[in-house]
Amino acid sequence: MLDSDIVMPQGTLQRMLSVDKEIVVAKYAEKGKMEASYHCYHHSQVPFRRDPKVEVRPGERRELKDVDPMLFGLGCVLVKKEVFEQLEKPYFKFTISDERVDDYLRVSEDFLFALKCHHAGFRPVFCDDIEVLHLATVGIRPGKLEGIEWV
């Protein structure tokens, strides 16, 4: 899965595929921040609030089996077909403002997908060495990519 405002350097998809896990998460900068990180959180069970971020050391690939349950964003994520085959539909649903839903499930569509993956037994692998550019963080409009330098 790739958000429309994410730019992948050449070879990113091949690197993600080479990890050979069910769910592979690349890092990128959140809107309003310049430093790339993971959009990966402990579940607070409180709508509109995230518990502290899960830390991954530079250069580390980490399968987070010790975090229960786990939330992650879908800006740049590789998900194998087998994951979808084991999940209940709908895979994605924006439930934050749905007061009919239990607080545990009042999350974004990204995080609801992550919760479903967690409860189905899947644990994402977070790859610090795979980084993509989030256009929302650099103020570049789609179609105006001249001058971007990968560092």
Spatial CA neighbour of 125 closest among 43, 44, 67, 84: 67
How many residues are listed for the chain in this entry? Answer: 151
Domains belonging to the chain, first-starting first, are 6-138 (3.90.550.10)
Q: What pLDDT score was predicted for residue 47? A: 47
Question: For tokens 């539909």, what's the residue?
Answer: 89
Residues 81-113 pLDDT 10s: 999 999 999 999 888 888 898 877 878 888 889
44, pLDDT greater than 90: no
pLDDT tens by residue, 130-151: 888 877 665 555 555 554 554 4
Say which range, 20-24, 70-74, 114-118, has the weakest mean pLDDT.
Answer: 70-74
Q: Which of 88, 130, 148 is nearest to 112 (CA)?
A: 88
